[in-house]
Amino acid sequence: MANEKNLKVTFCSGAGTVTGANFLLEGNGKKFLIDCGLIQGEKFVDDLNWEKFSYDAVTIDILFITHSHIDHIGRIPKLINEGFCGKIISTVPTKEITEIMFADMAHLLSRDVEHNLAEIYSAENIKKASSLWETLEYGQKLNIDHGFQFSFKDAGHILGSGMLEIIYNNRKIVFTGDLGNSPSPLLPNTEVIKNADYMIMESCYGDRNHEKREERKKKLEEVIKNNYNRKGTLIIPTFSLERTQELLYEINSLVENNIIPRMPIFLDSPLSIKLTDVYLKYDKYFNETAKKIIATGDKLFDFPGLKETLETDESKAILEVPPPKIIIAGSGMSNGGRILHHEKNYLPDENNTILLTGYQAVGTLGRLIEDGAKKIHIMGEEITVRANIAKIIGYSTHKDSDHLVGFVEKTANTLKKVFVTMGEPKSSMFLAQKLNDSFGVNAYTPMAGESVTIEC
Ligand SMILES: [Zn+2]
């Protein structure tokens, strides 16, 4: 017999794939959503995003947001457009970063007439999202009627990222969101979860391990030095959020300790520039090492040679600057943004280098470059790739396979079931198997659209 206290979780999207996190938790007369992200894959924005949600947006009480990556927040305006009028709850930085991300998305997406995106990402919907939004500090508890208690623990993934802990009928259910690649240069380590009964976890790198952090800094140093010696241009497609700030932090240390020679370094991404300002504002959420460096008077994200190019004219003028030089620009998977112009200009020359700093989704231009394609198409033009291709996968903001396993281990003795989501199928299945083999944990990889019961 089904217990009427039982909860139901539906993996509306974000299962069997990395992106599009959107989970529905129902029970005892309440409906909650955890994340409402964009589905991204071959296209920056998949057509699937614009199909109607499988639930009635009007009936949702609260939407919890684990963090402000597009694949966790990108469909909030659509939810509003379909009539959502509940509360949105996250940490303080998540709310502020989301507002910047929405402005950027509205600019990018409103040209899509076919899917009516100008209406979905309207100023009105974005403003309404902000007006419904409330914040919680890490550890602060939110009790609501029908016996639910919610709180965020620091996930250490990006600034403001949280794991959502839910206590209901003496059961603890944890939605991990994305889990940080601790130790991170800037953020505290992922908090430990104990005594969890059920966990809905990410598995982006469920089947792979990263390079060590020391190795990645060494590799960054080598790539920069090699490029300098070749008198080339080093282009770094980067993710505006967290990756860029980590990269600036590491280059700051290489420059100020005179480990690399001085040269012009351009931060050519308006979004990255704005987000870096938010990081500076919320340095109270940094780890102790970063706070100590700030206390000495060092500006973590600023150093000799760095130039922020906010305006288009400034961006275009970079081409006139003689090499050696470094250009950091978005997007991280080369599926849009100013990096495309730089790739067009610099990839055909064997003296130049492109440095990939993160996961490149199947079907993106970044993935083609990573896989060694010699001919690629950028903005309708065929480009021959002769530049050197370097990769540092240690820059991921996600835990790798061994660390995901280590994270679950801390609460393996109490877990009744783990749902392995937010990963490509082979990655999720590998992790589920490993959790089962290592700790006898009942780990399951749900499919998108599937519903499961949480026994309470
Ligand atoms: Zn994320």
Q: Could you report the per-residue pLDDT of 25-43, keeping only the tens digit for each?
A: 999 999 999 999 999 876 7
Provide the pLDDT for residue 40: 84
CA of 188 to the centre of ligand 1 (A): 16
CA of 178 to the centre of ligand 1 (A): 5
Provide the pLDDT for residue 46: 84
CA of 66 to the centre of ligand 1 (A): 9
Provide the pLDDT for residue 412: 98
CA of 79 to the centre of ligand 1 (A): 20
CA of 379 to the centre of ligand 1 (A): 28
Q: What is the 3-state secondary structure (H, E, C) of the chain?
A: CCCCCCEEEEEEECCCCCCCCEEEEEECCEEEEECCCCCCCCCCCCHHHHCCCCCCHHHCCEEECCCCCHHHHCCHHHHHHCCCCCEEEECHHHHHHHHHHHHHHHHHHCCCCCCCHHHHCCHHHHHHHHHHEEECCCCCCEEEHHHEEEEEEECCCCCCCEEEEEEECCEEEEECCCCCCCCCCCCCCCCCCCCCCEEEECCCECCCCCCCHHHHHHHHHHHHHHHHHCCCEEEEECCCCCHHHHHHHHHHHHHHCCCCCCCCEEECCHHHHHHHHHHHHCHHHCCHHHHHHHHCCCCCCCCCCEEECCCHHHHHHHHHCCCCEEEEECCCCCCCCCHHHHHHHHCCCCCCEEEECCCCCCCCHHHHHHCCCCEEEECCEEEECCCEEEECHHHCCCCEHHHHHHHHHCCCCCCCEEEECCCCHHHHHHHHHHHHHHHCCCEECCCCCCEEEECC
Provide the pLDDT for residue 4: 77
pTM across the whole model? 0.92
CA of 398 to the centre of ligand 1 (A): 8
CA of 70 to the centre of ligand 1 (A): 8
CA of 250 to the centre of ligand 1 (A): 21
CA of 228 to the centre of ligand 1 (A): 33
CA of 65 to the centre of ligand 1 (A): 11
Under-50 pLDDT residues of the chain: 1
Provide the pLDDT for residue 393: 72
